Each structure stands twice: as C-alpha cells, then as structure tokens.
Amino acid sequence: MIRIALLTVLLVMSTMARGQDLPTPEGPMTMERMAGIIAALDPEVSQRGPTFEFTIQDIPVIVIADPRADRMRAMVPIRSADALEQAELLRLMQANFDSALDARYAVAQGRLWGVFIHPLSPLERDQLISGLAQTVSVALTYGQSYSGGASVFGGGDSSGIYQELLDELKKRGQEL
C-alpha cells in the first residue's frame, strides 16, 4: 500500500515538474505583432493596411493578413506561369508533397508563386519566421531541388541552405 502511495506521489510530482518545463504560450498573432516580427527581419518593410512588402535575401516577399478571416498568406513571385509545361507542373506538385514542407508552389494571376498559408491567430513567431524562410527557399531552389528547407521527405540536397537562412532569420527575430 505504501508503495502505491509513493508511486502516486512520484507520478504527480513528475507530471507537475514536466508542466513547469513547458514554454509559455505566446498569445494570438495580431497585426501589430506580425508587423514587429517582419520589421525585425527587414527594417525597410513597407506596410499598407493588411499588406507587408519586404525583402529576404534579395527576394521580394509579400504578406497579406486578414484578422477577420483569421488567415495570413506569405507570397514570393517566382516566374511567369505562361510557359510552364506539364512536366514542370508535375514536378511542382511532387515538391508540394515531399520537399516544399510548409511552403507550397502555387499558380495565380499568371504567375508561379512560393506561398505559406496559415491561420493568423494561432501562428507563433518561430512558425512565421520558419514559414517565411521556407517560402524564400522554394523560390531560391526552384528548378533545382524545389525544397522548402532542411527536412526533405525522401532525401534532398538543400538542407544546408535552408538551415543557414532559418538561423539568420531567427537571430534577427530574437530581439522581439
């Protein structure tokens, strides 16, 4: 009986200790928080209403957020979609499945884009930074490894490029 009581006490104490190790939740992503994070990544960001325009590694990035719909979208223009052939479209769909990670290739308004789409309010700082890095990475690796970053399901060769970009962006975002 004493063993059961001791085991119960130890179990409760270990559960409580584990709960103390959990990171503090950030709270919902707002337009103001997003603006601060993006400004840390590129101090020359331009904001017009819900739209942010900035540059990461010489790649233009557009972020549009809609708090009422609780959505955000980061977009990087890659090229005109007019001359995309079926084999290239198939390769883009394959990349969306295994190597683009949270970023995606998409076609809209006659262009091929790298995009990251996420619900706005649950988005955390590191998720935003990672999503932006992955979106820039799919643009940089277009025509080669078509990779969103360090983890590629089934292998890949662009993990070092993505990891350097992610580390650099996280370092810039640390001041927040």
Question: Per-residue pLDDT averaged across 146-171, rounded?
Answer: 64
Residue 12 has pLDDT above 70, yes or no: no
How confident is the model over 38-93, as pLDDT tens digits?
A: 999 999 999 999 999 999 999 999 999 999 999 999 999 999 999 999 999 999 99
Residue 156 has pLDDT above 60, yes or no: no
How confident is the model over 100-117, as pLDDT tens digits?
A: 889 999 999 999 999 999
Q: What confidence score (pLDDT) does residue 163 get?
A: 65
Question: Per-residue pLDDT averaged across 105-134, rounded?
Answer: 97
Say which residue, 38 or 99, is predicted with more confidence. 38
Q: What confidence score (pLDDT) does residue 154 get?
A: 53
Residue 35 has pLDDT above 80, yes or no: yes
Q: What confidence score (pLDDT) does residue 146 get?
A: 86
What's the Cα-to-Cα distance from 45 to each of 23, 37, 38, 48, 167, rounded to whole Å? Answer: 30, 11, 7, 10, 20
Q: What domains can be seen in the chain, in order of their start residue? A: 28-173 (3.30.1460.10)
